[in-house]
Amino acid sequence: MAEEILLSELEDGVLTLTLNRPKANAFNEDLIKAAQNAFKDAARNADVRCVLLTGSGKIFSAGQDVTEFGAGAPRSFRAHLQKTYNPLILAMRQLEKPVIAAINGAVAGAALGIALAADVRIASDQARFVVGFGGIGLAPDSAVSLMLPLVIGLGRAAEATFFNDPISSEQALAWGLVNRVVPADVLMEEARAWAQRLADGPVNAMGLAKRDFNRAHLAHLEEQLDYEAHIQEIAGRGADHKEGLAAFIEKRPAQYRSS
C-alpha cells in the first residue's frame, strides 16, 4: 500500500498536517490537492480549532516538483497556478482558525508562499529559507510577491529574490520571517504547545481578527495571485526559464547570458 503523502492527525482540537513526500516533500498535483482538501475540511469541521502544518524528515518542502515541468507537452503556468497554489493559499488565509507552520528544515519556492500564508511560524534552528524561483528563471508566485515584502520589507525581499541566497533561521528571526526559533529536537514539542494553547483559546475571536488582518493587509490577495499567474506565464515561456530548468535537471550551473 502506498504511503500517504499528507499525514493528518486530529487531537484535542489541533489538526496536524504533515507533508510526507520524501525526499524533499516537493509538491506535485496530488499533494497540492490533498492540502487543499485538508484545509477545506478544517473549515467545515467544528472539532478542528487550530491547524499545525509541518514536513516529514529534515525538510519542510522544496516547493514545486519541477520534474513535472520537464516532461510532456508545455503547460500553462497560469492554468497550473489557478488550479493548484492559488486556491491553497486562499483556503489557508480564509480559514478563520489559527494556522501554525512548524518549519523543520529547508523551505523554498511555492512552499515559502505556503509557510507565509500561515498565521505564525516557528522554525527549527536547522531551517533555511530560499525564495527559489529565480533559480529556474521564474518570478515569485504562491503570494510570495505580496507576503514576503509585507513580512520582511521590500528591500530585503528583493535581495532574497534576486540573489536567491538561503536565509538562515537566525536571520529569518531577526527579519521577522519567523516568530520563534528553537532547537531542532524540540521543534514539534514547542509547536504543538503553541497549537494547543491556540486551540484552547477564543478561536472565533481569532478568526475575526484574522479577517481583520486580511482586510487591512491582504485585501488584494486574490487579485495579486491572479497577476502572479499572468507574470509566471510570461516567465515560463522565456529563455531564462528554459535554461534554468535545463540546468537544474542536468545538475549544472545555468548560463543565462548564452540563453
**What residue ranges do the domains of the chain occupy?**
1-185+203-259
C-alpha cell, 100? 501554525
What pLDDT digit, counting tens, does each position of 136-150 carry? 999 999 999 999 999
C-alpha cell, 116? 507565509
Return the CATH architecture of domain 1-185+203-259: Alpha-Beta Complex (3.90)
Nearest CA-CA partner of 184 in 128, 129, 125? 125
Q: What is the pLDDT of residue 1?
A: 38
**124 strand-pairing partners:** 182
Confidence of residue 71 (pLDDT cuts 50, 70, 90): low
CA-CA distance, 162 to 63, in Å (whole number)?
A: 18
Nearest CA-CA partner of 169 in 210, 135, 121? 121
Stated pTM of the model = 0.95
What number of H helices and E strands is found in the chain? 11, 10
Q: Say yes or no to pLDDT of 73 above 60.
A: no
Task: Give me the half-sphere count of Cα atoms (radius 13 Å) on the Cβ side of residue 16.
Answer: 18
C-alpha cell, 205? 475571536
Mean pLDDT confidence for 231-244: 93
Torsion of CA 28, 33, 34, 37, to 10 degrees: 160
